[in-house]
Amino acid sequence: MSFGIRNDEPAIEDALDRDKIALALANAVQICDTPLVVGLYGSWGSGKTSLMKLVQRHLDRTDNCVTVWFDAWQHQFDENPAVALLHTMVEEAGLGEEGRKLLYAIAGALGNAALKAMTLMSAATDFRKFEEKYEQERFLVREKQVRLRQHFEELLGKVTNNGEIRLVFFIDDLDRCVSEHILKTLEALKLFLNMKGCVYVLGVDREALERSIRHRYGDEDVSEAQYLDKIVQVPFTIPPVTADSTTGFVRSLLTPKLHDIAEDIVAGLGTNPRQIKRFVNSFILNDELAKQTFDSADYDAKILVALLVVQYQRPAFYKEIVDDRDVLLAPSDANAHLFADPAVLRLSGVIKGDPSGLDGYIHLSQVAGVRPTEFDVRVTQVGEFKINLVKVVREHNNISLKEAKDLVEAGPPILAGAGLSREAAEDLLEKVLGTGSRAELV
């Protein structure tokens, strides 16, 4: 086992005790009816790609499945996602010149009128009505569509040995693409790639997909859930990693001498694998700098972890600490809730014992700290003008008045916005504070 700063590539080995989930999914893919689309839903950094890689590895060990890995983000500017997907299949399956000829025929049949009709499909029209309208308005394209279906079947038949072998596509990073490409890909799965013997596994953030649907069809009465249900037959939300599994994962990234800080990291950051990995990378660099800065007797890795946790999770309070260590001496009305955080309590204990005890750690955190790239806005106290807060929450999240009211009525902490850039989060924070409520960036 090697220790050190890790890159952000998907894990090759199962470090989060998810292989049982992967095996169950692999078994389901082998026995399900086809065609089928499976949605593996998970938020940023939850390990979607790593889990799909585990599923693919199980399937590659069988003799009845062929797998194809497709990175949608790398192809988001291709004219047609169906062609890009099949091109990847032709290359990975080694179909050679014969496969390329069929692919050229498919690309030609998908061009011009057929492609235009797909991308301009009305949101208010279901797929059956779309097909009827398509045939009425594009009668001359019908013959091409018949040939297109034949080309698809012939090409896929070469890979699957005419249906004897199952073809499984893993489509990754679709939620990183621009909205137009996301919806083109989803519609292609339904309209053109809906073939017997094929299974499509999408690793996506469902909320990101729903935002794309709202972005495109915001002025029309379209339900994001109903839209996705037309595409995805098997939704599967990746379960959170357990604290014990995450602690083991953190220890696998650290030298044995630092294993006692693993629980502190998990307690402070939660169980998101990518977030954990980025944090540990920053800690390792800070730890190496600390060894050069502190006398060995004066350095406590647990204090460094606590400060980095506060810097990452509570950036506004971290800035207050940097400016004035005395904010750690006693809670105020505005920050009393923060003192329930073990990391804050540890830092408070240091300052009470030595007012300058954090100076060296703060210097390190400013040089090589771990700063978040996404922020949440959390309401900690509802002010006098509750109805104004409901309005802000409703407008930001594009939800109904009842949904916004129920969210606010549930009481603090209220998640007014999540996964925002600093600029967007600060703008939302200003709006929330303008309602007389109290809130924070986290």
Check pLDDT > 90 for residue 399. Answer: no
Say what the pLDDT of residue 215 is: 73
Give the tens place of pLDDT for each residue, 300-316.
999 999 999 999 888 88
Set out the domains of the chain in order of their start, with CATH numbers.
19-237 (3.40.50), 243-368 (no CATH), 375-441 (3.30.1390.10)
pLDDT value at position 23?
A: 94
pLDDT at position 265 over 80: yes
Q: What percent of the chain has pLDDT over 90?
A: 23
Q: Under 8 Å CB-to-CB from 200, ≥6 apart: which residues? A: 35, 36, 37, 38, 168, 169, 171, 189, 193
Binned at pLDDT 50, 70 and 90, residue 135 comes out as low
**Per-residue pLDDT, 9:** 62
Span 216-233, average pLDDT: 77
Please report where in the chains the tokens 């806005």 appear, as a residue: 377
Beta-ladder partners of 157 = none
Residue 158 pLDDT > 90, yes or no? no
Q: Is the pLDDT of residue 163 over 80?
A: no
Sheet holding 414-420, edge to edge: 414-420, 375-381, 438-441
Determine the average pLDDT of the residues in 398-404.
83
- Poorest-confidence range of 4-13, 124-133, 426-435? 124-133
What pLDDT band is residue 221 in, cutting at 50, 70 and 90?
low
Strand order in 36-41's β-sheet? 65-71, 166-172, 198-204, 36-41, 234-237
For residues 72-99, average pLDDT: 82
